C-alpha cells in the first residue's frame, strides 16, 4: 500500500510523495509515538483500573518498557502520527 496508506492515517511515504508533488521541501519529519510507548500507556491503564495484585505484577513490565528507547522497528511497528516541518519551494 506504500505510499498511499490510508488504514490508520498517512505513512511517512505518503507525506513524502504528496509534499513533493505539491512543491514542498521537507525540513523535518519525525514519528510521534512507537510500540513501546503504546505498551507503557496500556500497562499503566491496566494498573490504574485493577487490583493491587495486578499493579504489583504489571509494575516491572511498566519499568522495563519505560527504559527502552525508540528504535526504527518500534516506530515502524506502531507510529501514532508525524510532526512535519516543510517549506514551499
Predicted local confidence at residue 4, as pLDDT: 57
Does 1 have pLDDT greater than 50? no
Q: How confident is the model at residue 7 (pLDDT cuts 50, 70, 90)?
A: low
The cell for 43 is 500497562
Predicted local confidence at residue 9, as pLDDT: 62
Point out which residues pair with 50 in neighbouring strands. Answer: none
3-state secondary structure of 61: helix
Question: In this predicted model, what pLDDT tens digit does every residue of 27-45 receive, in sequence order?
Answer: 999 988 889 999 999 999 9
Q: How confident is the model at residue 23 (pLDDT cuts 50, 70, 90)?
A: very high
Q: Where are the domains of the chain?
A: 1-31+81-89, 35-69
Q: How far apart are CA 35 and CA 30, in angstroms?
A: 15
Q: How confident is the model at residue 2 (pLDDT cuts 50, 70, 90)?
A: low
Amino acid at each position: 500500500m506504500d505510499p498511499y496508506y490510508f488504514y490508520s492515517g498517512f505513512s511517512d511515504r505518503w507525506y513524502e510523495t504528496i509534499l513533493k508533488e505539491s512543491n514542498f521541501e521537507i525540513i523535518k519529519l519525525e514519528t510521534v509515538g512507537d510500540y513501546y510507548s503504546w505498551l507503557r500507556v496500556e500497562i499503566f491503564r491496566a494498573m490504574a483500573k485493577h487490583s493491587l495484585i495486578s499493579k504489583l505484577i504489571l509494575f516491572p513490565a511498566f519499568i522495563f518498557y519505560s527504559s527502552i528507547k525508540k528504535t526504527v522497528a518500534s516506530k515502524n511497528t506502531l507510529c501514532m502520527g508525524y510532526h512535519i516541518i516543510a517549506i514551499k519551494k
